[in-house]
Every structure is written in structure tokens, then in C-alpha cells.
Structure 1
């Protein structure tokens, strides 16, 4: 199964909502998001993928992170799933353009319930990560549980997402939250507590005056 062939059919309200949001935005998503989806490259650097390792990004969007991670860890194989077929159209283009179709496999699926064997022919992963996805997944706690469930015994789960902007001016937080709500984005205030209860937390960081939060959990 190649990286551009593994697209499965989906249904459900959330997938349709994401398609509606990103049908047009996918064409300029990466250009605009680089200015405010902070901490993504730091997450990739911290994956520390073992030689020959297998890495999954749930809610992979346009494939931007998968391409960068595949370049950062040339001996690993990468997999991505997303509930939006529209975003995966862009991901396929980006992966092919980067010449990484032989190392990145993508499929359409729900981060809260998926079968990696059926999608990718893989039983478990060394690393699973979600970048700015938990704030857009209504049952986000289930997404964390599902990610950790599909880790190898010594695997780690990594996530970065919006923080609560505790060290930034109140007006900034109000404006950001109002703007994010237009795209059905809801920063998760209790992310640290949920990660701590999901596994053995290796670290949790408040980045850029709590603009973003990054966590790593061992299975």
C-alpha cells in the first residue's frame, strides 16, 4: 500500500464539518498557519524516533508535519490519518511533491476510533502525535486514549495545542478565543490533567507565555 493509495471512505457529521471548513482553506492552510500554530517543529524535534521506527500523526491535515518529520528522521516510516478527505487531498499533493510517497502512508479515519492494521497493515507505533488537533476534536479525550492504545510498549504520545495564554494580556486571549471559535477550535484547559491520567507523563511545557502547550506521555 503506497502513501497516495491508502484513502478509506468515511462518514459522520464531524468529517463533513471539517470538509466544509477546509474545502477551500486547504489550498492556503500551511502558508497562513505557520504564523500561529507555534511549537509544531519543537514537537517533531522531540519525537526522537528510533531507527526503523513507525510514527503516526492523527489528524494529519495537509501532511505538513509528516513531510518535515520524514525528512528529520530518514530511517523511519510515517503514517497519517485525518477525518477530512479535503485535507487529505492536499496532503497527497504535498507528499508527492516532497518525493516521500514511499515513506509516508495516509488514510482517511477518525482519531477517536481507528484500526491501524486495517488502514496501514501496522499493529502498533513507536510514536503517535497530534498537532493542534485535540482542540478541534469534540471527544478529544477519546482521541488521546486511542492514540496511546496503539503505541508499542515503550512508545510515546506527543501533542501540542493552544494553551490558555495565562501570561499574555487578557484582551489577546479574548480575541484569540473568539477568532478560533469561528473555526470550531476550543483550547483544552485541562490538557495537562488528562495527559497525566492517561499514562506516565514525561513532560508538559507551557510555550510562548502559555500561547501553546506541549506534552509527552509514555504508554
Structure 2
């Protein structure tokens, strides 16, 4: 955890101040994911890899009765997130904690082990042991709940030169789109008695995936 935490703090120590302004142009599908959460009244939501808090704030506006929780490995990002949720007037609704997506104790951090909705937005592509993070996320979903994911896709219906350029650029920021996300999610679904789905967005630019627990 310490090595990856140090890397993420280094990457975002300065970027966090312009992160939301720049990422809105290419982190596509985030708002669609939030709109699809379909939160039960008074339900609890957890974002894994919450970053600057942008998505939690959007979820709070979309679902005003939801209890919001976020975990991130980067202390620098959490500092920005805390300031953002306070500015948005959501400090009493949002609980933020530092933890490794691959293995955190939700009960210890948030006082609950499972959540009605769990989502991960453009974070799996930055986590070295992303399969472990995916398994951890699946186990945080309450019975009858959902895990929703959006991330970079494989660009399968876009020009090959575009894919090479995008993947090369993303690698500079320690981002690696996960080509076998659908298969790993199916394994996580089997382990939690859930059903999974995956579909391409924007000609493969992004992927939306998730699972629903019985």
C-alpha cells in the first residue's frame, strides 16, 4: 500500500488542483453512471477511488437522501475532496477515509461493511492489483445492491492510431486500461452470487460494467 500511496500522492500533489477542470473532457460516462445508480431512499453509497470528491458531490445532488462514503489511497486527493465537499455544503453527508482499494476494512472506516451502491470511476486502470480491488468492491455490495464501474475501454471501434496514441499518453500517468475487465468481473460475480454485465461506450472509448447482488 505504501508504495502505491506514495506514487499517487506524487502524481496528484499538484494535479489535484486542476484535476476536475481537465478530466471532464475525457473521463466520459461518469455522470451517466451516477444517474443510473437508482439509489434507494436513504441508501448508502461508496465510491472507491473517490479522488477529488467530484463524483460524490454529483451523487449527493442527484440522490439527496443518500449517505455518501468515499475511500482513496491518496492523502493529497482526500485533502482536496474534504475541501470540496465542505464547499458544496455536504460535509455532514459525506464520510471520507484513506485506504487501499485492494484491501480496506469498511466496517472500521465507515461503521458498516456493505453498501447499497458501490461505484468505481476511472480508478481500476490506475490500481496495479486491480483484480483484488474489484473483488474487494464486490464484497462491499449489500444484498440487493449494485456495483457500477466506468473506465477506459479498448478503443475497439476507433482507429488503431488513436488507440496507440491514447494508450501511450495514459501510460505517462500510470494508467492502463483493463482489457479483461469483463472476465474478471464475471469471476467476482460468481464469488458473490451476483450477475455481471459489461458494455462498450462511445465506440469502445469507455466501458460500463457492473454487477447486481441477489
Structure-2 residue corresponding to 1:105: 95
Worse overlay, 145-154 or 196-205 = 196-205
Q: Given that residues 153 and 205 in structure 2 are in contact (C-alpha distance below 8 angstroms), is that contact kept between their aligned partners in structure 1?
A: yes
TM-score (norm: length of structure 1): 0.93
The root-mean-square deviation of aligned C-alpha atoms, in Å, is: 1.0
For residue 187 of structure 1, report the CA deviation from its aligned partner.
0.2
Q: Given that residues 131 and 184 in structure 2 are in contact (C-alpha distance below 8 angstroms), is that contact kept between their aligned partners in structure 1?
A: yes
Any gaps of 5 or more consecutive residues in structure 1? 1-10
Structure-1 residue corresponding to 2:156: 166
Deviations along 1:162-181, whole A, 9 cap, x unmatched?
A: 00101111111101000000
1:209 maps onto 2:206 in alignment:
no
Q: Given that residues 201 and 215 in structure 1 are in contact (C-alpha distance below 8 angstroms), is that contact kept between their aligned partners in structure 2?
A: no
For residues 67 and 77 of structure 1, the distance between their equivalents in structure 2, rounded to whole angstroms, comes to: 11
For residue 202 of structure 1, report the CA deviation from its aligned partner.
4.7
For residues 176 and 122 of structure 1, the distance between their equivalents in structure 2, rounded to whole angstroms, comes to: 39
For residues 57 and 207 of structure 1, the distance between their equivalents in structure 2, rounded to whole angstroms, comes to: 21
For residue 29 of structure 1, report the CA deviation from its aligned partner.
0.2
Give the 3-state SS of the residue equivalent to 1:145 in structure 2: helix
Instruction: Report the count of equivalent residues.
Output: 209
Structure-2 residue corresponding to 1:68: 58
For residues 107 and 196 of structure 2, the distance between their equivalents in structure 1, rounded to whole angstroms, comes to: 28
Deviations along 1:107-126, whole A, 9 cap, x unmatched?
A: 01111111111111123101
Which of these residues, 27, 35, 38, is aligned with residue 17 of structure 2? 27
Moved over 2 A (4+): 200-203
- Which structure has more helix as a fraction of its residues? 2
Which of these residues, 27, 30, 41, is aligned with residue 51 of structure 1? 41
For residues 87 and 52 of structure 1, the distance between their equivalents in structure 2, rounded to whole angstroms, comes to: 27
Any gaps of 5 or more consecutive residues in structure 2? none
Give the 3-state SS of the residue equivalent to 2:138 in structure 1: helix
TM-score (norm: length of structure 2): 0.95
